[in-house]
Structures are given as C-alpha cells and as structure tokens.
C-alpha cells in the first residue's frame, strides 16, 4: 500500500478500550533510519513482517506519505539487525466507532504507562465520532511519534501527563 496517510492521534483515558476492542495484536518495531521527518521502519505484528517508509508530516502532522509492504518474518528479523538503538513494543487494540476504526496502542518497556489512539481519515476535514475514552489530541506533537518515543521514551518525561492519562502497568 502506498499513498497519503491522513490520521489524528489522541491520548487515551482509562482502559475501557480493552472491553470494546474487537481484536488485539502485539507489535515490535524498529527504525532503520529516522530523521528530518522521514522514517524507514521494520515491524513484526504477531507473526507477520512489514517494511514502511514515511515522508515528512504536513498540515500540523495530520498528513504524510506512507509506503508499506508486507515482508516475510525472516526478512523482518534480519532487518531488525540494521535498526537504530531502541525498539517500540506495544499491543494494538482495534476499536470501531461509527464508520471509523481507532487503533489504540498500549506501550511497554521504557514507554510503559503511555496509551495513545489514532484514527485514519479519508480527508483532513472528515468528521468522526470519538469513543468516550479518547482524550486530548496530540496530532503533530513530535514527542508522541513512535520514532521519538524510541529515543526519548515516556519514562524520561517525569510524569508530564495528567493523572487521567497515566495507566497502571501489570506487576
């Protein structure tokens, strides 16, 4: 798949998304290169591999070019050897809201306690219904880009999110 990716990103309150999710999958991703808004990412989602190239963001972070290709799990594992230090580890929950799908990511490791959701749109002005657990919008805030979380993880932020956005991690 290639073309423009138009999405909005939000913080998530509580864990109600888990009760309404229609599926979930574990994701591990690394970055072969990331800089000046361009990234080359390798991802393993459950037992499938993907290579993704993204261009710089436009319009406040809402729109960017994206090319994604499924690759074999063996190719993905080999490409991880080329990645910059730091790996993103998360579970993605799929939640339907009206005609849209929200992808809710619960992070682990150095990003534990952070939960974000994104919704892909057909146009920048498209309207959509937000589930109750969707909080403040963080579209365009580079701290919340996965490539940034790799180098400056949530654990180093010093608790800079309001309490309603801090999740408890299993002990």
Tokens representing 139 are: 């579209």
Active site residue 145: no
Q: What angle do CA 87, 38, 144 make, to 5 degrees?
A: 55
Determine which one of 17, 31, 93, 145 is catalytic: 31
Cβ atoms of 141 and 57 closer than 8 Å: no
Residues forming the active site: 31
């Amino acid at each position: 798949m290639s073309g423009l990716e138009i999405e909005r990103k939000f913080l998530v309150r509580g864990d109600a998304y888990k009760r309404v999710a229609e599926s979930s999958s574990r994701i591990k991703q690394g970055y072969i290169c990331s800089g000046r808004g361009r990234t080359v990412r390798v991802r393993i989602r459950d037992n499938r591999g993907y290579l993704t190239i993204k261009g710089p963001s436009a319009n406040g972070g809402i729109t960017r070019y994206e090319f994604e290709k499924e690759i074999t799990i063996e190719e993905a594992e080999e490409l991880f050897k080329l990645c910059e230090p730091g790996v993103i580890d998360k579970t993605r929950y799929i939640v339907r809201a009206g005609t849209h799908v929200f992808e809710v990511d619960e992070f682990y490791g150095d990003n534990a306690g952070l939960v974000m959701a994104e919704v892909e749109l057909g146009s920048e002005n498209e309207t959509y219904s937000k589930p109750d657990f969707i909080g403040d919008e963080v579209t365009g805030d580079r701290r919340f880009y996965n490539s940034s979380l790799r180098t400056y993880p949530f654990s180093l932020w010093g608790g800079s999110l309001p309490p309603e956005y801090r999740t408890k991690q299993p002990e």
